Structure 1
């Protein structure tokens, strides 16, 4: 269970443990005393990456200590995904590219086909389904990737291993296991280095960028994303290469926003938008959903990181064609539900910051939960937004929907 209803409650405990006054902490984190005071009382949300990084750095603690680590609630959609982590950890920690742990493996073509299915579950944020197949696949791919006798098969094994490690990276990251996410990203990087393929190296770099430590290092994250994009630039001639380059640009944009470099963030967003024009606007079929629609989704995320709220967020959201994210009605359960849920959650978080739009925030957050329950019920920024909404509404009658969401996320109430 959580040890406090909001991040602010943990902030207060950590600040007192460090024997710091509000003024001292505010000065070191470059935040206002009034904002921190309201955050500690659960009246303002601490869900922006820049705020979390600055406060954790000033307190000299990890972000996990501030926002809270993974925990198991009573809701199956919230707790069951965590059961996939031990077997994924076992597969990654007991295998290497020169010393596989498995003794037997299925034919490589079967593993490639299974990776396609796993990727669909991964993009739908169905971590339980991912966990049923991914650990064995990682074992068997390591065995194939340790045999360079057949060069063509060897390369296919390494390419598929990059994809499998990407799924392991974001499954672990989304559920709150940054150490395992980092290990999976490093393994993807090792496989890509052997392939010496600029596009695969770009994919692996994308994983690494999203698993770098956050406290005091967003400038390094930004530099890593920019280096990877620049290295890929001359080689991004095909569809996949341009999609990977675009996603690296979007990652750089978000990192620049955290670093409060608005011009740089806008520049990278513009570059990604220019690349997306040449891609089909079909997020469900593109690598990491890269498309014009997805660039607009990231535009929402970047602006929410800036601190946009209320009507301004709704204006940005109105530019996103939601039907592009949900797909046809008969494909909604298998589409890129994670990207859709992220969009809905970012809009909801932005609306939650403005009292005039808090009622709408609740509806957007509930839609996000419906789109990808296993992820959203474990998503720290959404948990923070919901906890703050609940704290603010506690003195008045709260809605049945909000109370239900609080319970499903395991938030004390």
Structure 2
């Protein structure tokens, strides 16, 4: 199963624009984007940036997943993941009923180990194993939380269940199921309060802020981040490394959101605050509440904001100084090279764009296959060439293009 080079985000934007009886000029006025960019994206000659898709989706009154063509059902079938979505949906729907009497949960220490393993697999984008494991683990943790136990064990069980809901959220979001991702994040909020950990609740809001970015509402996303920062203030040790890492990550998220809103000044201010938090820690922290943070992360976000502000030469220049330490999140490495592939594509540098996508594939292969920007870049590169270079042809086949 595959998709053709004619099946791209720009073509879907054109279809919905016509259904809404809008001209390209009319959509440009509603979405606050240029008509020239709409023309290039609809023709498939330029990759649709996430900010562009969010703006046009809001103007056309559709979800961004619709314009991206998500979920990518052919890829899901090929990876044998499609049949795992229903069990996950059912597991997320069973949070408020009596626990299954046939489930005997493992001790909390063993459950903590199982949750750490599924987090590791999620960060490595092992989507199939994660999707297969989640329903059973959610059932076991829900039962454990409903079983009378000492207060400390109950808090640990709640934290483990909140973490597992976060993994479910991440999986659903990456596979293109925004409604399922939203449900998982709501479930996380419900149980995170029982863990009595403000940082856990702050990280949930860190993820929630992206919903508003996807909907073209960056100002709301910034309010969500500000609320999360107030939760960090409530941590037992606000000056400790975990709190500093979460606070710094929130500053970087705010920088990213401000960049999407084209607010260069605020984006730079938030990025500087993130840098200050990283300087206070003095090292990279590879896994605090499932997040990577430190000087490397700040440098990577600087590149990311350059790309979102369409300052592609600056992004390429700053990227040359980044060296990922051992143990760094594969998803963050993959995202970095996907961003660079977009920058190189916009600059007309096919060879470098393909090389970046290959490096993203090496770091986190399934992330590339399911990432809308990566697929947009491959499609745009294919449509620009009458005769495909061998590397590009191989990459196009790998992501499922006919």
> What is the TM-score with the length of structure 1 in the denominator?
0.90
Q: How far 1:279 sits from its partner (Å)?
A: 2.8
Report what 2:171 is aligned to.
Answer: 171
Higher mean C-alpha displacement, 80-89 vs 185-194? 80-89
1:293, 1:122 → 2: CA distance? 21
Give the 5 Å matches for 1:9-408.
Answer: 9-47=11-49, 49-73=50-74, 79-96=79-96, 99-101=98-100, 103-104=102-103, 105-212=105-212, 214-233=214-233, 235=235, 236-279=238-281, 281-286=283-288, 287-309=290-312, 311-322=313-324, 324=325, 327=326, 336-355=329-348, 357-393=349-385, 395=386, 397-408=387-398
In structure 2, runs of 5+ residues without a counterpart are none
- 1:303-335 Cα deviation digits (max 9, x unpaired): 2111122x322112012113x1xx2xxx7xxx6
SS of residue in 1 equivalent to 2:33: coil
For the structure 1 residues 314 and 140, does the alpha-carbon distance in structure 2 shift closer, same or farther, using more than 3 Å as the test? same
> What is the TM-score with the length of structure 2 in the denominator?
0.92
1:32, 1:319 → 2: CA distance? 33
For the structure 1 residues 234 and 265, does the alpha-carbon distance in structure 2 shift closer, same or farther, using more than 3 Å as the test? farther
For the structure 1 residues 33 and 207, does the alpha-carbon distance in structure 2 shift closer, same or farther, using more than 3 Å as the test? closer
For the structure 1 residues 101 and 206, does the alpha-carbon distance in structure 2 shift closer, same or farther, using more than 3 Å as the test? farther
For the structure 1 residues 87 and 237, does the alpha-carbon distance in structure 2 shift closer, same or farther, using more than 3 Å as the test? farther
SS of residue in 2 equivalent to 1:377: helix
Q: Number of residues paired by the alignment?
A: 396
1:278, 1:162 → 2: CA distance? 28
SS of residue in 1 equivalent to 2:214: coil
For the structure 1 residues 276 and 254, does the alpha-carbon distance in structure 2 shift closer, same or farther, using more than 3 Å as the test? same
1:410 lines up with 2:400 in the alignment: yes
1:82, 1:283 → 2: CA distance? 34
Contact 2:304/2:315 (8 A) holds in 1: no
SS of residue in 1 equivalent to 2:72: coil
Contact 1:10/1:66 (8 A) holds in 2: yes
Q: How far 1:155 sits from its partner (Å)?
A: 0.6
2:212, 2:138 → 1: CA distance? 22
Higher mean C-alpha displacement, 28-37 vs 98-107? 98-107
Contact 1:341/1:371 (8 A) holds in 2: yes
Q: How far 1:5 sits from its partner (Å)?
A: 3.0
Contact 2:88/2:131 (8 A) holds in 1: yes
For the structure 1 residues 150 and 283, does the alpha-carbon distance in structure 2 shift closer, same or farther, using more than 3 Å as the test? closer
Q: How far 1:345 sits from its partner (Å)?
A: 0.8
1:112, 1:372 → 2: CA distance? 25
In structure 1, runs of 5+ residues without a counterpart are none
Q: How far 1:74 sits from its partner (Å)?
A: 5.9
SS of residue in 1 equivalent to 2:80: helix
Contact 1:226/1:249 (8 A) holds in 2: no
Contact 1:269/1:299 (8 A) holds in 2: yes
1:371, 1:7 → 2: CA distance? 25
Q: CA RMSD in A?
A: 2.1
Contact 2:203/2:228 (8 A) holds in 1: no
SS of residue in 2 equivalent to 1:277: helix
- 1:313-370 Cα deviation digits (max 9, x unpaired): 2112012113x1xx2xxx7xxx621111111111111111011x23211110121122
1:213, 1:135 → 2: CA distance? 29
Contact 2:65/2:178 (8 A) holds in 1: no
Contact 2:14/2:42 (8 A) holds in 1: yes
Q: How far 1:102 sits from its partner (Å)?
A: 5.8
SS of residue in 1 equivalent to 2:93: helix
